[in-house]
Each structure stands twice: as structure tokens, then as C-alpha cells.
Chains A and B, each alone.
Chain A
Amino acid sequence: MKFLRDRKVRDVLWQVAASLLMIALIVFFVRNASQNMVKAGIASGFRFLWRDSGIEVPFNITGYKPSDTILALLWTGVANTLLVSAASIVLATVIGFGVGLLRLSHNWLLSTLAGCYVEFVRNIPLLFFVLFWYFGVLAALPAPRESYSLFDLVFLNRRGLSIPTPGVLHDFGWAALMTGLLVALQAIVARWARRRQARTGRDFPTWPVGFLLCGALPILAFIAAGTQTPWDVPTLRGFNYRGGFILVPEFVALFAALSTYTAGFIAEAVRGGVLSVRQGQIDAARALGLGQGRIIRLVVIPQAMPVIIPPLTSQYLNILKNSSFGAAIAYPEIVAIFMGSALVATGQAIEIIAITLAIYLVLSVAVSIFMNWYNARHRLVTR
């Protein structure tokens, strides 16, 4: 038995034993599953994806009808998941950065209020907020006749949020094209300015010009396009608003809950990132005569961002995964309509679960690859 004392031999033996155990478990489970499925008369394979679904989806942006295939139903679920995730990511980032920076304010009241917000939101389950918004807030909204309205364009009532939609997208296409050109122009200007500064030391107001090129002009272009386009404005007809687009209460509740909840975590990430920049760096920048704006832009942000981005990424991934909380209030996202309705309709549990999990894994990997790429681009070059 002397060879058992050899480390290499033992390593191999351990791994062989572990893999045998895993294979045995998998074989055991698969055998049971196939036996149980035969007994219950459940079909297998992925052919069901092309069958007619017959499932109603009250809220969809893909033009899905119950007579479409289950594959189309799946796509509708994916679209709804992405829609609510993207909207929540934007709002959560805005609130999160705002609250995180307010927490660092010198004003005691502001920082305390921001701290209260963070502690309030982080210590209560997300599902609580989802249910609270849906059954507590939105259910208490007035009926369509007494809607809250904003300039008679946007209406909020218990049937959801009615927003106007552009009749034709043609002019917006031009505005978007112009924005793209302006962004490209800004990239060229920034590059030129950097080179010139490196060569001659002369400064160029890249940021104000950037705000003009990438902010003000595109907004003007979109406003111009908006005035040229006939709008489909929601109007009260009968018991509800017709025309425009109705964001159902499920969407509004999930969106509100996801973004306010995740904002608390993003705020902590932002605060941690800014605090990680050492005071000496700021003092040194001030000693060099830089103004407050430049200190923030050239010293604080470049050093804080690499610290903020990894936790920010995981919060974005959390939003994506947590959009499945919509299943609790019947917002038609992947888990609700595919893992729920389609599974009940077809009974093919294994295939449907596998597809659902695969979609989430692919989406997660996609987000983390993008954020890693972004992080690598913005990483500090240390010497």
C-alpha cells in the first residue's frame, strides 16, 4: 500500500472517486426521471415549441397573439423581462448615484436622509416592495375617470400608466442618425483635444462641448422630430383610456419596486467607491490648483469608477434576475408565462426549466462580459 502515500496517485484517486460519485448521482436521477415521465405519460423533446400556445398575454411589445407558437410566447417573455430590466437599470442607476452622493454630502440632514433611505430599502425583502406597490399603492389609485394626469398627455390610474406614442417613427430615425453622427464627432474632437494637450499643453473645453454635441443638440433634434410627428395621445373612451400605450400596473409596480430597491444597493457601491479615493489625492489636486469640478472629473471619478463598477455589475445582474419577481404579480416575464403558463399547458417540465435557466445564464454572461469589457477599458493604468 505504499503507493497510496504518493501525492500524485492520491490526487488521481480522489478525482476518480469524485467523478464516479457524480456520474452515479446523475445516472440515478436521470433514470428516475425517465421512469417517472414514462409512467406519467409526459412527452419529451423540443417539438412542443412549435405548437400553438393558446395562452393570452395581456401585455406584450412583440405583437404576440394566442394563436402564435410557444416559441413566440417565449420570445414575448424574454422581451418583457428585458424591457422591465432595462427600464429599472436606468432608474436605479440614477437614484442610486444620487442617493450615494447625497450620503457623502456635508449637509448633515441630506446625508442622514439618504442614509435612512438606504437602510430602509436594504433591510426589507424585494418581494415585499413588489406586493406593496402592486396591492398597496397601485390598487389604491383612482379609476380611469379620475386619473392623475401630466399635461393631459400621461395618465396614471389603477389600470396602469397611459403614455402617448409617436404615430410614425420616420422623423425619429433622422434624429437618432443625427445623434449618432454628433457622438462620433464628439469622439473625434475629444481625441484631437487630448492629443493637442499632450503635445502643446493647451487645454480644450471637451466637456462643455461634449454636453452641447451629445446632449443639447440631440435633444433639440428629438424635440424637432416630436413636433413633426403626429402623436397618438391616450383619450378617455368608455371606462378606460384608448390610444397611446398602456403600461400595465404589473409593469409599473415591478419597475418601481426593482428600481427603488436596487438603488439602495447601488448607493452603497457609489459611496464605497468615492470613499476609497484617499483624501491625500484630493488635497494634492487642490495643491496643484485644480478647481472643484476638475478635481471631481480628473481625480475622484477615474479612481472611484473602477471600485464602483464590479458591484454595479452585480447589481445590474440582480435586476435582471429579480425581474422574475414579476411572477408573483403576474407580470408576463419569462418565469411567469414560460415556466408558469407554458409549463402547465404542455407538462414538459424538464425542457422548459432547461430553456428558462439557459436564457438567464446567457443573459447574465452577456451582461458580465459587457461590464468586464467596460471595466477593462476604464481601468487605471498603474505603473
Chain B
Amino acid sequence: MSPQRPVPGKAGAWVAALRQRLFATPLDAALTLVCLYLVWHFSVPLLRWLLLDAHWQGTSRDDCKGGGACWVFIRMRFGQFMYGQYPAAERWRVDLTGALLVLTGAALAWRGLPRRRAVTMAAVFILPPLGIWILAGGWGLRPVETRDWGGLMLTLFITVYAGLISVPFGILLALGRRSRLPLIRFASVVFIEFWRGVPIIAVIFLASLLLPLIMPTGVDIDRLARAVIGLAFVIAAYMAEAVRGGLQALPDGQIEAAEALGLGYWRIARFIVLPQALRIALPAMTNEFIALFKNTTLVLIVSIFDLLGIAQAALADPAWVGMNMEAYTFAGAIYWFVSFGLSQWGRWREKRLRLAHGR
């Protein structure tokens, strides 16, 4: 029994709609009023603090007298929030890498892209090492040590590179888990379940302690690289489960038909299975990607300062005592907008996929 709906377009329809959606029963009306009061009670001081009473102009803590938020603090330390200790004269390199990333992403998202294959290849094989060279320097560029990297730039770096490792790795693991060969299947299952069963913090610890230990003497793995590898392993295991969902959704007939045509395992995987399975798995993979983005914060535990770490470190600055709320609000807002944007994109893809399948 669906509730009665007002006649659309009629005068007073919205009053009826309001009544039905907010004041349907006395209990409803009471709840609505209580909620309205609570929203009012909390949002007004919040809004005053965030915007109305906030301070924007000035250069030091003394410019923030009164109750509102001190955005001067964020403005003065904006460079740190974005780039960490990356030398100011070299920050164009970070911007350049970011621009390259955005341009490639936009090009790949454009449907009428000419030479799509070549661009994709370049994006996957040339861009990542190029990015590391531009950021880390050497060969003509001034070297910048990874310990000086930080802020949002580092958060995005870890997300992108751990993602670049974990997606192909996860796909291989998912294929391995569905493999006909018992040994491969067993190894994949053990790998996936192991990394899914342990906390990511422990894995980042583990990577920073064990990786130097199991490498031959003289081979030194960068601190940041250790954290990226640790994160990538865990995310690969989760990614594998997302891809497996796509593989399982594929009807057996597809593979049987491909086998009947005489295609071998890798060709079936490349031309028949993966293009379809990945499209189905994309929303789940997007969720894992969001999880990866949020989990980059854990590198704080091995003293690498990503966006949240920089915010946390900024609290210790004696010139800006008591800016906890401003720092957290700023960092939190960035995390929220990026994650929310990604998840909306995932939902949009999912919807389009459903429409394409006529469901």
C-alpha cells in the first residue's frame, strides 16, 4: 500500500507533500520539530565559527581575536599542507606532475581519443617513471629527498602509485584464484586471505621493518617506497576480491565459446573475460580505491607526513598554538570532497552500466 500522493502541478501540492513527508502523524511532527531544533542548535554556531566570525586577513595568530575560525593559519601554511617540506623553488615540478596526471586522465576519459592504444600504453608505462623522475630529481633536476615530500601531494602520490601496483596485481590474483591449476589457486587464496586478515597499520610497520631485512646488503629501499609497497599488497588483495566479483558475474558460456574458437588462456583472459569482468567490477574497484585513498593516512605511523600528518604536525608549531580545529577541518574537508567525488563517479558509472545492459 503506497501512501497517497498529491496531484502534481496543483496549487498547494507542495504543502501537501510537506505535510506527508514531515508531519504525517503526531509522532512524525514531534520528531521533525525536534530534529529541526537540533539542526538549528548545532548548525548556527558551526556556521558562525566556519564563516561569519572567521578571520581571513592577516599574517599571524594575533590577527585572530574573537571566537571564529582562524583561516589565516591555513593561508599562511597552505604551501605546507599542499607540498610538505618540498623546496619552494621546485614546487612547479609537483604542479607539472599533477597537470600531466590530470591531462592524461582527461584524455583517457574522452571517448573520441585518437590512438587510444598508444596513449594508454604511454600512460601506464612511461608516465609513472617519468613522474618519479620529475618529483625525485636526478639526471639534470635538483634531487629532492622523499623525506621532504608531504601534504596533499604525498597523499595523492601514494594513492596513485599504490593503485598502479595493486590493480594489475589484484587482477592477476583474482585470475589465480579462479584458475584451473590447484597450486596457483591455493597460492592466490593464501595470499589474498593473509593480507585481508591483518590490519593495514601492522602491514605498514612490517614493510618498513622487514623489507630492508630481506633485501641483499647494499640494496636500500626508500622509506616511502616501503610504505607504498606495503599498502599496495593489502589493497591488491582487496582489489582481487573486487575483480573476482566481476569474474563470477560472467556467464560460463563466454569462456566456453572462446575455448571453442580455439583461443588460449591468456587470450581468453585479455579479449573475453577481463574487458567484461572489469567493467562489472569497476564500482567495487572504485570503492577499494577510495579505501586506499583514506588509508594512505596510515603512513603517519612510520613518520611520513601526508596531508593528515602535516595537519597533525602543524599543531606542534609554537607560533600557532590551539589551531587544532582549523587544521582538522581543512584536512578533513579535502579528504571528504575527494572521497565523495570518487564515490559519486563510481555510482554514475554503475548507473550507466546498468542502463547499457538494459536493466
Q: Known contacts A107-B21, A123-B340, A127-B300; decide if A339 and B332 are in contact (CB<8 Å).
A: no
A327 contact set on B, CB distance < 8 A = 201, 301
A286 within 8 A of B: yes
A324 within 8 A of B: yes
Interface of chain A, main secondary structure:
helix
B57 within 8 A of A: no
Distance to closest chain B CB from A328 (angstroms): 6
A187 within 8 A of B: no
B2-21, CB under 8 A of A: which get 1 and which 0? Answer: 01000000000000000001
A339 contacts B39, CB within 8 Å?
Answer: no
Q: Which of these, B28, B205, B214, contacts A106 with CB under 8 Å? A: B28
B89 within 8 A of A: no
B184 contacts A18, CB within 8 Å?
Answer: yes
Q: Known contacts A127-B300, A128-B328; decide if A119 and B199 are in contact (CB<8 Å).
A: no
- Of the stretches B30-38, B75-83, B136-144, the one at the interface is B30-38
- Of the stretches A206-214, A244-252, A353-361, the one at the interface is A353-361
B298 contact set on A, CB distance < 8 A = 127, 325
| Complex interface residues of chain A between 351 and 383 (CB less than 8 A to chain B) | 353, 356-357, 360-361, 364-365
- Nearest A residue to B27, CB-CB: A107
A18 contact set on B, CB distance < 8 A = 181, 183-184, 187
A125 to B201, CA, bound (A): 13
B198 contacts A357, CB within 8 Å?
Answer: yes
B216 contact set on A, CB distance < 8 A = 32, 35
A156 to B198, CA, bound (A): 33
A327 to B181, CA, bound (A): 41
A109 contacts B217, CB within 8 Å?
Answer: no
A39 contacts B340, CB within 8 Å?
Answer: no
A296 within 8 A of B: no
A349 contacts B187, CB within 8 Å?
Answer: no
B197 within 8 A of A: yes
A203 within 8 A of B: no
A29-48, CB under 8 A of B: which get 1 and which 0? Answer: 11011011101000000000
A216 within 8 A of B: no
B205 contacts A339, CB within 8 Å?
Answer: yes
- Nearest B residue to A36, CB-CB: B213
A328 to B194, CA, bound (A): 23
A109 contacts B340, CB within 8 Å?
Answer: no
B174-200, CB under 8 A of A: which get 1 and which 0? Answer: 000000111110010000001001111
B109 within 8 A of A: no
Distance to closest chain B CB from A19 (angstroms): 6
Q: Which of these, A29, A123, A128, contacts B308 with CB under 8 Å? A: A128
Distance to closest chain A CB from B324 (angstroms): 5
A124 contacts B22, CB within 8 Å?
Answer: no
B197 contacts A124, CB within 8 Å?
Answer: no
- Nearest A residue to B334, CB-CB: A124
B31 contact set on A, CB distance < 8 A = 107, 109-110
B336 within 8 A of A: yes
B304 within 8 A of A: no
A125 to B298, CA, bound (A): 9
A95 within 8 A of B: no
| Complex interface residues of chain B between 320 and 359 (CB less than 8 A to chain A) | 324-325, 328, 331-332, 335-336, 339-340, 343
A29 contact set on B, CB distance < 8 A = 214
Q: Which of these, A33, A39, A110, contacts B35 with CB under 8 Å? A: A110
| Complex interface residues of chain A between 306 and 328 (CB less than 8 A to chain B) | 321-325, 327-328
Q: Known contacts A18-B183, A33-B213, A37-B213; decide if A124 and B336 are in contact (CB<8 Å).
A: yes
B42-80, CB under 8 A of A: which get 1 and which 0? Answer: 000000000000000000000000000000000000000
A265 to B63, CA, bound (A): 41
B36 contacts A339, CB within 8 Å?
Answer: no
Q: Known contacts A11-B181, A321-B199; decide if A107 and B295 are in contact (CB<8 Å).
A: no
B102 within 8 A of A: no
Interface of chain B, main secondary structure:
helix
Distance to closest chain B CB from A11 (angstroms): 6
A22 to B183, CA, bound (A): 11
A283 within 8 A of B: yes
A14 to B214, CA, bound (A): 27
A353 contacts B35, CB within 8 Å?
Answer: no
B201 contacts A124, CB within 8 Å?
Answer: no
| Complex interface residues of chain B between 278 and 312 (CB less than 8 A to chain A) | 290, 294-295, 297-298, 300-301, 308, 312
B215 contacts A335, CB within 8 Å?
Answer: no
B201 contact set on A, CB distance < 8 A = 324-325, 327-328, 335
Give the most central of B180, B209, B290: most A CB within 10 Å. B209
Distance to closest chain B CB from A8 (angstroms): 11
B198 contact set on A, CB distance < 8 A = 321, 357, 360-361
Q: Which of these, A109, A321, A324, contacts B22 with CB under 8 Å? A: A109
Q: Which of these, B21, B28, B315, B343, contacts A123 with CB under 8 Å? A: B343
Q: Which of these, B39, B199, B308, contacts A127 with CB under 8 Å? A: B308
B206 within 8 A of A: yes
Distance to closest chain A CB from B129 (angstroms): 24
A142 within 8 A of B: no
A108 within 8 A of B: yes
Distance to closest chain B CB from A368 (angstroms): 9
A110 to B35, CA, bound (A): 7
Q: Known contacts A15-B183, A39-B217; decide if A125 and B335 are in contact (CB<8 Å).
A: yes
Q: Which of these, A11, A328, A350, contacts B213 with CB under 8 Å? A: A350
B32 contacts A128, CB within 8 Å?
Answer: no
- Nearest A residue to B219, CB-CB: A32
A321 to B336, CA, bound (A): 23
B212 contact set on A, CB distance < 8 A = 36
B122 contact set on A, CB distance < 8 A = none
B202 within 8 A of A: yes
A122 to B217, CA, bound (A): 43
B24 within 8 A of A: yes
Pick 30 A–B contacts, CB within 8 A, sort by A. A15-B182, A18-B184, A19-B183, A29-B214, A32-B217, A33-B214, A35-B217, A106-B3, A107-B22, A108-B22, A110-B31, A124-B335, A128-B331, A131-B308, A132-B332, A135-B324, A136-B325, A139-B324, A283-B1, A321-B197, A321-B199, A321-B200, A324-B201, A325-B201, A335-B205, A349-B209, A349-B213, A357-B206, A360-B197, A361-B198
**5 additional contacts, CB 8 Å, given A124-B335, A140-B324?**
A32-B214, A107-B21, A107-B31, A136-B324, A353-B205
